[in-house]
Structure 1
Amino acid sequence: MPDLYYFPTATCGYKARLTLAEKGVDFTHRVLDRDAGELVTPEYLALNPNAVVPTMVHDGRVLIESSIIMVYTDEAFDGPSLRPDTAIGRAQVAAWLKRADDAYLPALGAVTYGLFRRKQILLKSAEELAAYYLDIPDPERRAQRKSVVENGIAAPIVAQAFLTLDGMLADMEEALAGNGHLVDGGYGLADAALTPFVSRLDELAMDWMWARRPNLAGWWDAIRQRPSFGTVFDAFLDAKRKAGLRDAGLESREAVEKILAS
């Protein structure tokens, strides 16, 4: 049985957990407390030097990076195949996973921190704030986080992030035309990979971004009906966090609309 290390609201943790749920794989939950510093303990850094989640340990082997874990899960365990049989179909899945990792994930992080998480972080003392930034091992990521926390939606990276995510939604709308899933062949890894991104925008009351995208709206309705969605997204319900995300999104709507109209 694999072990999966994650924290409850991690986008990439959602991706891995959705894949495990769709495959019907039992696993040991190793739930970490990000705010308590459990991503930077010597024990966890020995598994994942990047100090991020998820991390899977299976048969004594350590796997990091959510997309790698997703593909491994599909190949290593019994259950329905989550990738097409055709070479072109698998290439299309790989393209979605790459875009999710390279473009959409940094964008969603900037949006989440710029609208919501910064409010909690700015409550820290000066000493706590300095320690918080130092716990981010990558210098570029540390500098970006500092800019987002200090400037919020006014940070250039946050504005660009909304444009990136709007482009993601446009690409999804096009891919879903005449097809209920992102890649021909039924529900698969591409759908699982993109679900947490749409979910976070929905939590931020940004569902207006797909009001005129009927293919995407239909896909999102269907995704929320899947048993895996409830298994993963209802596992750690936090009413205070939910309300905070929604309020942050509503407060920012006018600014976001201006960004997207520019």
Structure 2
Amino acid sequence: MTLPKGAADTDRPQLYGADYSVYVRIARLALLEKGVAYNLLPIDIFAESGIPDSHLARHPFGKIPALEHGDFHLYETGAITRYVDEAFDGPALQPADAKSRARMNQIISIADGYIYPHLVWGLYVECIEKPKRGEAPDEDRVESARGVAPISLTVLADLLSEHRWMCGDRLTLADLYLAPMIDYAVEVPEFREMFAEHRNLGDWWQRVTALDSFRDTQPSS
């Protein structure tokens, strides 16, 4: 994807990855919320031909996303999103005070450690993606995810409280991390029912889905 902001192609960050990836989408959301023009260069790490050597040179662990900005090379979504926030003009995506920033980092850690493995892989992939491919879900994995889902939602609802966004009145990286993960998880009917039990999360989700950046980064498939 190219976001037209008038910058020359050579000045734009180059983001490598696939648009279906949760973590690529997080990086794209951060770039868009900062108003940064960028190019998305497709890399499919699940391709039958394997991971290209050129990408392994960018990311030795063979993951996505990876970022190039001029002669600066970076991988790991946490590093990329913080770099984007700090290197470019635009609205700050990290709180200025220590307590709120710590809360943001806590929520990101929750997303990485519990939401992504259990709600995306344990529920969405097992209950939605595998049946589409004619594969049987791993019931043990689904059962484990079912146990984590209500705890995760209660924790997020408690942290959100009556705020507009996860860390207060302003959008932060915490919201951008959760958004692509929740977007997959709500496709699972039983998770959607759990989610609907938390009014404040529903209000937050309406604000998330109204973001131009969220709509502009919807996966193509």
Work out which of the residue numbers 148, 164, 171 in structure 2 matches 1:164: 148
3-state SS of paired residue (2:168): coil
1:69 and 2:80 matched: yes
Structure 2: stretches of 5+ with no match in the other structure: 1-11
Unpaired runs of 5+ residues, structure 1, are 123-148, 239-262
The equivalent residue for 1:59 is 70
2:8 aligns with: none
Would the alpha carbon gap of residues 162 and 4 (structure 1) be closer, same or farther in structure 2, given more than 3 Å must change? farther
User: Counterpart of 1:99 in 2: which secondary structure?
Assistant: helix
Q: Which has the higher helix share?
A: 1
CA drift of 1:63 comes to 1.5
Count of residues in correspondence between the two structures: 208
Could you tell me which of 208, 215, 221 is aligned with 1:230?
215
Superposition map of 1:125-164 within 5 A: 152-154=137-139, 156-164=140-148
Q: Which of 200, 210, 216 pairs up with 1:215?
A: 200
Q: Is the 8 A contact 2:19 2:217 kept in 1?
A: no
Please, what is the CA RMSD of the aligned residues? 2.0
Q: How many Å separate the matches in 1 of 2:182 and 2:93?
A: 19
Aligned pair in 2 of structure 1 residues 71, 116: CA closer, same or farther (>3 Å)? same
- Where in structure 1 do 4 or more consecutive aligned residues deviate above 6 Å? none
* Aligned residue number for residue 196 of structure 1: 180
Matches within 5 A, 1:1-262: 1-37=12-48, 40-107=51-118, 108-119=120-131, 152-154=137-139, 156-205=140-189, 206-233=191-218, 236=220, 238=221
CA 61–163 in structure 1, closer or farther in 2 if over 3 Å, else same? farther
Cα deviation for residue 191 of structure 1 reads: 0.6
Distance in 1 between the 2:60 and 2:124 partners? 23
Q: Deviations over 1:207-242 (max 9, x none)?
A: 212221000001001111111111111x62x4xxxx
CA distance 1:39–1:182, shift in 2 (3 Å): farther
Structure 2 counterpart of 1:110, which letter? G
TM-score, normalised with respect to structure 2: 0.85
Hey, what's the Cα distance between the residues in 2 that align with 1:58 and 1:231?
22
Letter in 1 for 2:166: L
CA separation in 2, counterparts of 1:198 and 1:43?
32
Whether the 8 Å contact between 1:84 and 1:185 is mirrored in structure 2 is no
Tell me the percent identity: 26
